[in-house]
Structure 1
């Protein structure tokens, strides 16, 4: 075994887990899950069967990653944040054939107690604030907050707020890395 798992965790036979991944107390990883290298699954995490988790993903305590969710490399899931997989659940109505796929792209941060409603894409390096409820696609580098979440700014790959307007054309540098970010046609991009 090239990963470490606490004795209280359950890793079902068939789960694929990459080297250097750490699985903490009371975690359950389902048989069909695929988890990359150097990930950390905090206390009381659940990972469903139809879940793909990239490399270097950090999932903090009390997060359930349900079927139809994909987390690309370097995603951070804050404590007690929530994924859904059925848009209109009812206890008396079976809807397992109606799961909506959710994609969290590389480097995105999902803050503590945030909720990601199923069927959306969160763009690269987007930053979802604590407690936000995201019910529509999120642009790369967007800073989102509120219920429902709305864009309030832009974030760098380093996790620093960028001095850019929400619209128009502009450019700025990350104060930590010196990398230049351009705002063009309502999208933030890293200058190459």
Structure 2
């Protein structure tokens, strides 16, 4: 069951769902969604220095990415066909019996902005600033501004609390992230 606006409000008030800083509900709360805002740190691939992503090369992904911090009053231009990692201003903490799902805002999707490739699920027990996987699939560059509402979260109840929530997993690679963390797939034993 997806939480309604009234259930999201109640979960925020009781601390069941934690969002810091507290959202402006009159602007960020929808009928069953909670919008989050774009932070000012972006990570981009240094594709002119590293022509290929080879997961077996031994090069760590964060070594081939550059972090860019944009002043709050400035903009980040996402070129057509480009990809960048970003994060939300808000930190999110989920209880052991709720799943969070992130989606892009329709108004931005209609410009060609995709905010996640495949990672839309935030497991029960997840804590941190959500990382956004930004792609511009349109033909024109898109100006992105820190503080703009960029994504929406929905929250869904599990049938019972998770036995091993994300914050209890030994393999929780992205726990408590506070910046747009690059892929840690080379830490997997399947590469």
TM over 0.5, shorter chain: no
Taking structure 2 as the reference length, the TM-score comes to 0.28
More helix by share: 2
From the two aligned structures, give the one with the greater strand fraction. Answer: 1
Q: Could you tell me the TM-score, scaled by structure 1's length?
A: 0.28
